[in-house]
Every structure is written in structure tokens, then in C-alpha cells.
Amino acid sequence: MSTGLIILILTIATSGNCLLSELLDPEERLSELGKLNFTGIANKFGYMSEEYELVTEDGYFLTLFRIPGDATRPVLLVHGNTPTSDCFIIRGNDSLVLTLARQGYDVWAINLRGTRYSRRHISLNPDTQPSQFFNYSFYEMAIYDLPTTIDFVLQETGQTQLITFGHSMGTTLFYVLGAEKPEYNDKIKLCISLAPICFLEHVTGLLVTPIKLASVLNGLGIILDTQELLSYDTTTPLLQALCLQPAGYALCIEGALFPLFGYDTAGLENEFLNTLFGHFPGGTTRKILNHLAQVSNRNVFAKYDYGVIRNRIVYNSSEPPEFDLSKVRMRSVLVVGQEDLAARETDVDRLNASLPNVVEYLVLPYRKFNHMDFIWGRYMDTNFYPFIFDLLQKYT
């Protein structure tokens, strides 16, 4: 195991301890874009940004950002596991958000429950009631956060359909939604999946070890009552202290991020770290990580596995029910990077064969395109956007 990963694990393990971050005052090392939030970055580049607060059926407050454009062309961006909406804008002028805005789209960016801007609930307190507040996986995000947001965007724009972009676990949510609430298939004009996460049989690199150890790690998490992980308030300052110093690139990027998600040194320059670590990570939960690991280990795209006894109570069967992908009728585009160690081409082949309405399945030609290049890669404008904007023209 690399030193970077060990340090990262120590960081996560000690996330509750804010003392170190206070001593080092790492915020001083951030760039201007590292310090601004979504709205601030949009404004800096001359775009107006609106902030909305929605409440889900089960009581979570979600912050939704919008850069208003042509209301007949709404686009909703859904981030993955641990970033926030910010990941789609931190590349500034070259970001997906501002590139879409420049082309006139009405751009909306969700912040999923429990992450930096959406860490609130009508009655549960995340700090004093973590085991209740963080008791969700990507399933709840899919059946509550997405419908609330999609319906709000459609209502505000007066449209019946919207275009969606999901990245990583943000794509998973659409497969769950289409299967569990099939009426939402009709509300999506085109669902663009960047680095699709559904079947996880062939995940490789440093993710393999934590996946294989997931049931032990999860058991440890239960004993230590660890529900929230990689939160913005506690983990991000520690990563700033570790990663924004001379050895930071070797430690955090070459030692951890690349071994986890694929190597692309050209796509992530050292100078960008003081922006990146102002926004990443934004928070996740033990239950989400365990659920993803279950999908990989059981090699089935199914609901959360509580174990035989609880499954009988929750699902009336010893195994958790599988999601029925044949119901995901929305028109879909799948986009894969060749250097992505998490969303692997072989697994996406199986997804492609399982979804009934894939109109394009694209493997980007740039060989080093990794999992994170879709959201903050340095050369998205040449390696990625031309393919996407062609498809947007063709299908919308």
C-alpha cells in the first residue's frame, strides 16, 4: 500500500480532530477559486448564479445552484460520491458548468444530501444524531433527492423534460430512479452518464483492497459509530494541510488519487491543487461506501444488503432485491475514459447490454482520461467537450 493511501486513511480516521487543522491554518494556502463557493466562482467569471433550497419528502434540505440561461433548455448536473456541485465549476471558464452556460443552456447543479451545502434536515441534527441523519445510501439519494430536484427544475422552467449529466455515483442514481420510479424516465430528454457506475466487477487499482475489506471496515465503523466520512468541515482542512505543501502532489495525487482513479499527470497540474482542495471532499457516509462495495463484491446491482435476518424484515427475502434495469427507459449516453480504474469498460459493456435505451456508448480516444478528468481535468475542452456537445446537438 502506498504511503499516500496510508496517510489518507489516517486523515480519515482522525477527521473528527480539528486541532491539527486549526494549528496549521491551511486555508491560507488556497487560491481565490479555492476559497469561493459555486456562486462566487460563477460571479467571478461574469455569470449570475441563483441559490435554491429544496426539501425532500424525507426531510433533507438540498442546496441547488442555477446559472440561468435559455429556460427551454434546462440541464441538471449530478455530482458523484464525495465531491459537491463545485466539482463542475472549479475549472472556471473551462468547466462544464460555464461551457454549458456560454452555449445558452439553463444550468442547474444539485448538492446531494449530507454534503457540504446540504447538511441539514427538518428535524435531525447531523452533529448530535449522526446515526439517524446519515442513515442513507445512494438509494435514498436516487428516490428522494433526484425527484425533488427534477420536479422543481421542470416547474421553474415550465418544461416537461430536461437533460441530465451524472458523474460516477451521480450516474448510479439515474439507474435506480428509472427502475424504482419509472414515471421519471419520461421527464429526462437525455441522460448523459460520465464514468458510469453500476456493475463494479472489474474495479482495479487501490480501490480493490477497501472493497474486499468492506464488511470488516463497515463493522469497525459500526463499533466506532462512524456514520459520516470525508466531510467538508473536518477532512478538507486536513487535506489542505497535507496536500498543499511541497510534497503534496507526490503524496496526495501520485500516492493516492491516481492509484485510486487512474493516472493522468498531464490532466492534473500541481498549481490546481490549491483550488481543488478548497472544494474536495464534500462528504459521504459509511452506508454509501458499504453499499457500493456490496455491489462490487456480490456482483449484483441491488438494494442495500442488511444481512439475511434484517433482509427478511426489510425486504421479505434473504437477499436484497435487484434493481430492474430493463425499466430504465430514458434515452441514455454512456461515456467512458480508458484510464478510469473505477468505471471500467468491461463493466460498462454489461451496463450497455442491460439498459434498453442507450443511444450512444462512447469510449473517449485520449488514452489517459481517468475517472476525475470528467469533472476537473485540465484538458476537458479538447479531450471531452467536443464529443459531448456533438451529442447534445444531435439528440436535443
Q: Residues 82 to 121: which contact ligand NAG by CB under 6 A?
A: 93, 117
Residues in contact with ligand NAG, counted by CB under 6 A, come to a total of 17
Per CB under 6 A, the list member of 123, 160, 316, 346 interacting with ligand NAG is: 316
335 is a contact residue toward ligand NAG (CB under 6 A): no
120 or 187, CB closer to ligand NAG? Answer: 120
CB of 212 to ligand NAG, least distance (A): 25
353 is a contact residue toward ligand NAG (CB under 6 A): yes
Mark residues 1-40: x for contact with ligand NAG by CB under 6 A, - for none: ------------------------------------x-xx
210 is a contact residue toward ligand NAG (CB under 6 A): no
15 or 63, CB closer to ligand NAG? Answer: 63
CB of 352 to ligand NAG, least distance (A): 4
27 or 349, CB closer to ligand NAG? Answer: 349
Per CB under 6 A, the list member of 132, 209, 326, 357 interacting with ligand NAG is: 132
51 is a contact residue toward ligand NAG (CB under 6 A): yes
Per CB under 6 A, the list member of 15, 21, 56, 63 interacting with ligand NAG is: 63
Per CB under 6 A, the list member of 58, 180, 324, 349 interacting with ligand NAG is: 349
Measured distance between the N- and C-terminal CA atoms of the chain, rounded to whole angstroms: 46
361 is a contact residue toward ligand NAG (CB under 6 A): yes
254 is a contact residue toward ligand NAG (CB under 6 A): no
CB of 355 to ligand NAG, least distance (A): 8
Q: What residues make contact with ligand NAG under the rule CB under 6 A?
A: 37, 39-40, 45, 51, 63, 93, 117, 131-132, 135, 316, 349, 352-353, 358, 361
